[in-house]
C-alpha cells in the first residue's frame, strides 16, 4: 500500500485536476479570498490538517516515505508555489511545490496535502509566491507572495535555499520579496 502511495506522490500531479472545471476552487485574483465552496473547503481543510492524522502503514513505513519525499517539485515556466511544512512523529521539514496547471496557492496545497494525509503526514502552508524556472538558461527565480495565505517574511529566501540544495549546482537561483 505504501509503495502505491509513494508512486502516486511521484507522478505528475496536474492530470488529477483536469476535467474538474466545475468543481475547481476559485479565488479572487486581487485579494486571494475564496470565491466558491470548493475554495472555502480547501481553507477549512488547511486549518484542520494540523491536527488530523491518518495512517495506512506502520510508523516505520510512514517515516521512510517522509524521508524520501523530494524537497522540491517545480514545473518548467512561471507558476505559483507554496512552501510547506510537513511533519510526522514530531519530525518536521520544509518542501517546495510549484505545479503546472494549478493556478492558486491553495490548489497546490490541497493536492499535496491530499497525497500526504492518507500516509499520516501532516502538512501546512508556511508561505508562497511565484517561481520562474527556465531550464534552458538554468535559472530559477523565487518572488512575490500568496494573497490567500498572506505574506510570510523570509519565505522566498528559505524556498530558494531549499531549491539550491536540491538541484544541480549549474542552476542560478535568485529570490526577491518584490512583485506578485
Please tell me whether 18 is known to bind a ligand: no
For 28, residues 6+ apart whose C-beta sits below 8 A from its C-beta are: 34, 35, 147
Please give the DSSP secondary-structure letter assigned to residue 13.
S
Please give the DSSP secondary-structure letter assigned to residue 169.
T
Report d(CA 150, CA 128) in Å as an integer: 8
Q: Is the dihedral of CA 49, 9, 175, 32 positive or negative?
A: negative
Residue given cell 476552487 in the structure block: 25
| 34-41 contacts, C-beta under 8 A, 24 or more apart | 34/106, 34/148, 39/104, 39/106
Q: Is 135 helix (H, G, I), strand (E, B) or coil?
A: coil
**Catalytic residue, candidates 46, 94, 103, 105:** 105
105 is catalytic: yes
Kindly list the catalytic residues: 105
Provide the annotated binding site for substrate: 80
Provide the annotated binding site: 80
Amino acid at each position: 500500500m505504501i509503495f502505491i502511495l509513494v508512486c502516486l506522490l511521484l507522478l505528475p500531479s496536474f492530470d488529477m485536476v483536469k476535467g474538474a472545471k466545475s468543481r475547481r476552487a476559485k479565488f479572487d485574483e486581487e485579494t486571494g479570498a475564496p470565491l466558491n465552496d470548493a475554495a472555502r473547503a480547501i481553507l477549512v481543510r488547511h486549518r484542520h490538517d494540523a491536527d488530523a492524522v491518518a495512517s495506512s502503514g506502520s510508523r516505520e513505513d510512514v517515516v521512510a516515505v517522509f524521508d524520501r519525499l523530494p524537497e522540491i517539485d517545480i514545473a518548467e515556466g512561471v507558476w505559483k508555489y507554496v512552501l510547506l511544512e510537513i511533519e510526522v512523529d514530531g519530525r518536521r521539514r520544509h518542501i517546495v511545490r510549484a505545479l503546472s496547471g494549478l493556478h492558486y496557492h491553495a490548489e497546490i496545497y490541497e493536492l499535496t496535502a491530499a497525497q500526504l494525509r492518507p500516509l499520516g503526514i501532516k502538512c501546512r502552508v508556511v508561505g508562497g509566491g511565484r517561481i520562474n524556472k527556465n531550464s534552458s538558461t538554468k535559472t530559477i527565480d523565487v518572488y512575490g507572495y500568496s494573497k490567500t495565505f498572506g505574506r510570510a517574511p523570509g519565505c522566498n529566501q528559505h524556498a530558494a535555499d531549499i531549491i539550491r540544495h536540491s538541484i544541480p549546482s549549474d542552476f542560478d537561483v535568485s529570490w526577491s520579496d518584490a512583485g506578485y
